[in-house]
Structure 1
């Protein structure tokens, strides 16, 4: 479904926030947050390009070498909060979390678009400190709850100062509006598909669970011409240029990260008598990783029956069949998943024959040429997807026999389409 929010960034500085003195007010009183879970291991060939685990003393501000804190209000969405500087509304809790707190208060006579501000909160970004093009971008968070409460984890194109929004592009990794406690949204915004016309989808927890009740991990896997969203490792949406109806894809360039907790606005509506404040967004970690594996390195890709993706006869000639075979550790079974969206073995690329998009089109080894036939997304759900065709790498006939050819096929979630990539 489309994400019906409007631009959130027009009246808040994105790239030149002044470093203000930290304020001394601590975190809101309440039950202590849960103990931080240990970090999951990162695959050996995946390079972590940005990480903040938010370790530090309680009350400390976020690391200024990684984050800048924006200040001010936002008339563009008719949000109600004033974003403050320092550690007043964004501080570490001493247990490995960043806590962004929204309060009903105005301690410094802040002025908003509607008059005297009624709420305070915080918004942080990495502009001028960190940008990324492609990779996995994820955060583990426990979101707040309540009517009018609007937490978000998202990205903006680093060229926003030159081209403006929405030409810069926006990737919303996670948004929640308080009247939907069980649902989060992931959305793309760009020229001709912004605001209420953004292209996205929602993900709803089963059984009426609320996102505010526990920590969840929100991720995008981003490669050339493909972005895939997941919650706790479950993929719920994949977008490619084919989804834009001929409009411009603006997601092959550097983006920076944003964390914020808004109050009110056109989409969530304003707080009402049911809204309990303060509310807190707890962020366990934010991580960005990419893959630095090079052709000739890498490791096996295993599929149905525990068999390995194999280059037939270890032949590096263009057009050599890609198949399943008993794992044997040879170079014909060592695949590198690159940050450029390619999957390589023997110095060549996994390729969809003739750039086909139909079910049953065979895969082969071919000289790397940058074409869409050689672009693959490898999301957490263990699919390997060719975005041009929007189809999955598949073992023909669901067979695990040696020599079974690999093809592309409509993604079904079947065992023949599940792969374990060892990097």
Structure 2
């Protein structure tokens, strides 16, 4: 459950840094670049943009819409264990729109902080609860403000429907798409993506430390990146949270072709039952 803000920042900082004793770390308000615990009645549009229907990548099977059906705040029991949360939700909506000669049967939510909150170096973290179902593709990630992949991509958490693991990755010039800078993290026994977890990255001029619940799961140094191509991580980035369905990465993992690319009938049934939702407790950026 959320606590008063001063204590919350201490708790978040301890989770992210992996420090186990509070006396070893005292958070400073000046270290916080951005924080949102989604305690309002709706998404704060001063902090976030919502993606509309003029966007499609990676052969994903949904179209994003700016709607209270796909991006909304909840409280109490609907927040599933916390006081309040943001929900990104997918819906089955046959023939919702034809875009670029493709008929979309699903809608979902995607938000970002572009031009509202941009940061260079620091720690970005989010506490999230993900749905069970093959072919779901939620992610928490960061992009540069220019052309992709020239201005870099930091994938802090990607999940494609196998509940025992998540992936992290970097993309840039010479190491985009099937990037060699990628790692899977398998949860300890008794844990999986449907539990609340903190996903974070520490970003410095020298490299990245990716963490889950404060545990270091992957370290990438600048020389490792430059072995494959130009370092693309000295420029401002913005955060993205989204729930995609099917498409390239899920298909690569599950091999499902029907009824939708990367999205099996069992997951379509879950979407129809209203179970396709990502919950976000909070998002934090510190320097």
- C-alpha distance after superposition, 1:328-384 (max 9, x if no partner): xxxxxxxxxxxxxxxxxxxxxxxxxxxxxxxxxxxxxxxxxxxxxxxxxxxxxxxxx
**Counterpart in the other structure of 2:132:** 145
Q: Is the CA contact (8 Å cut-off) linking 2:9 and 2:27 kept in structure 1?
A: no
Which structure ranks higher in relative contact order (CA pairs < 8 Å, sequence separation ≥ 6)?
A: 2
- C-alpha distance after superposition, 1:267-318 (max 9, x if no partner): 113221221113110000000011xxxxxxxxxxxxxxxxxxxxxxxxxxxx
Q: Does 1:47 align with 2:31?
A: yes
- C-alpha distance after superposition, 1:170-213 (max 9, x if no partner): 000000001x211111100000000112512111102263211x
Pick which of 248-257 and 74-83 moved more.
74-83
**Counterpart in the other structure of 1:370:** none
Secondary structure of 1:268's counterpart equals helix
Q: Is the CA contact (8 Å cut-off) linking 2:56 and 2:63 kept in structure 1?
A: no
Q: Is the CA contact (8 Å cut-off) linking 2:127 and 2:283 kept in structure 1?
A: yes
**Counterpart in the other structure of 1:268:** 250
Q: Is the CA contact (8 Å cut-off) linking 2:174 and 2:228 kept in structure 1?
A: no
- C-alpha distance after superposition, 1:202-244 (max 9, x if no partner): 11102263211x1000010111121100000100111112212
Q: How does 1:308-387 map to 2 (within 5 A)?
A: none
Structure 1: how far apart are the matches of 2:112 and 2:237? 11
* Count of residue correspondences: 246
**Counterpart in the other structure of 1:259:** 241
**Counterpart in the other structure of 2:281:** 284
1:76, distance to aligned residue in structure 2 (A): 3.3
Q: Does 1:221 align with 2:202?
A: yes
**Counterpart in the other structure of 1:169:** 152
Structure 2: how far apart are the matches of 1:281 and 1:36? 18
Secondary structure of 1:248's counterpart equals coil
**Counterpart in the other structure of 1:17:** none
Q: Does 1:181 align with 2:181?
A: no
Structure 1: how far apart are the matches of 2:131 and 2:108? 13
1:246, distance to aligned residue in structure 2 (A): 5.2
**Counterpart in the other structure of 2:192:** 210
Secondary structure of 1:93's counterpart equals strand
**Counterpart in the other structure of 2:18:** none
Let me know the Cα RMSD of the aligned residues.
Answer: 1.8
Whichever of the two has the greater Rg, that structure is 1
Q: Does 1:136 align with 2:117?
A: no
Structure 1: how far apart are the matches of 2:52 and 2:185? 31
Q: Does 1:89 align with 2:73?
A: no
1:116, distance to aligned residue in structure 2 (A): 2.5
1:126, distance to aligned residue in structure 2 (A): 0.4
**Residue of structure 2 aligned with 1:233, choices 209, 214, 232:** 214
Higher strand proportion (structure 1 or 2): 2
Structure 1: how far apart are the matches of 2:238 and 2:180? 19
**Counterpart in the other structure of 1:115:** 102
Secondary structure of 2:201's counterpart equals strand
Uncovered stretches (5+) of structure 1, i.e. residues with no partner: 1-34, 291-423
Structure 2: how far apart are the matches of 1:37 and 1:116? 45
Secondary structure of 2:229's counterpart equals coil
Structure 1: how far apart are the matches of 2:189 and 2:121? 34
Secondary structure of 1:207's counterpart equals coil
Distance change in 2, residues 1:271/1:127 (3 Å):
same
**Residue of structure 2 aligned with 1:101, choices 89, 96, 101:** 89
Structure 2: how far apart are the matches of 1:124 and 1:65? 12
Higher helix proportion (structure 1 or 2): 2
Structure 2: how far apart are the matches of 1:261 and 1:93? 17
Secondary structure of 1:110's counterpart equals strand
